[in-house]
Structure formats: structure tokens, C-alpha cells
Amino acid sequence: MAERRVTVGWAEGLHARPASIFVRAATAAGVPVTIAKPGGSPVNAASMLAVLSLGAQGGEEIVLASDAEGAESALDRLAQLVSEGRDELPETV
């Protein structure tokens, strides 16, 4: 299983707009991805409600994971998005 540990770069955490940006990127990744807090239960990264339910705050670490083919590059892109706290989707997602 491929995994990336990343610090949430959005000051407000994964709430509202940042969560929406992340979920759209996870959906566009083309592989199933889960997101979790370290030691917590993973949830579907393409589900807005699941991502919001994590309550991930800015500066907290999260774990992105996938066991699908092509997961390494998809997780790299998602990890970069989260760590940079971008305000919109990059064109390469």
C-alpha cells in the first residue's frame, strides 16, 4: 500500500472550500484514495462528508493511502496540494 503523511497547509484545515478542492482532486486522481488522521480509521477521500468528518485542522498531519496501480503519482499530487494549501485545483491533477 502506498502512503503519504502530509501536514495540512490550509490555515482553516480541511473545512468547506479546502475540503471541496481536496475532494475534487481526489476524485480526479483516477485511483481510490483514503484519508485519515494518524492512528484513525481511513475514509474515502472522494467523499465530501467523509473528509469533513475528519475535522483535520491546519498544521495537523494526515495520511493519504491507496493500493491501486498508479497510486504513487496520484498520492504525490494530492500530498503536494494539501501541504501547499492551494486555493484552487492545479491543472495537472
Catalytic residues: 15
CB 63 within 8 A of CB 5: yes
Instruction: Extract the C-alpha cell encoding 81.
Output: 496540494
Helices (H), the chain: 16-28, 48-54, 71-84
Distance CA 66, CA 32 (A): 6
SS3 90: coil
- The DSSP H or E segment spanning 3 is strand 2-7
